[in-house]
Amino acid sequence: MPVTVRYCKSEWETQLHEGYPATIEGQTKYMKDFINVIENTPNGKGIGFYYWQPAWIPSQKEWSVGHENGWPNLTLFDFEGKKLDSLHF
């Protein structure tokens, strides 16, 4: 899910889906399109989705064990904990 690529920008950009840039607008478009797919799933099979941890707020670039913290691109909040406009989808 596109949000921000504050850390390791070039690596995270490879995770993005075409047409959904790492911006608030890209994230909003992704969520709206995703919901549209669910709503238009035939035979009432698209009943909803579960968004895993939209509140994760990155607190540091790396974990204490030395590997990268990959949470920043999974959140609907900025680095100060304020909600992004993309939360209004």
Distance CA 1, CA 12 (A): 10
Distance CA 7, CA 61 (A): 7
Distance CA 56, CA 38 (A): 24
- Name the residue ranges covered by the structural domains of the chain: 9-87
What is the pLDDT at residue 72?
61
- pLDDT band of 80, cuts 50, 70, 90: confident
Distance CA 45, CA 43 (A): 5
Tell me the per-residue pLDDT of 32-61, one tens digit each, with 9 for 90 and over: 999 999 999 999 899 998 877 666 676 666
Q: Which residue has the tokens 């030395």?
A: 66
Specify the 3-state DSSP secondary structure of 43.
helix
Share of the chain above pLDDT 70, in %: 60
Q: Up-side HSE of residue 17: CA atoms within 13 Å toward CB? A: 10
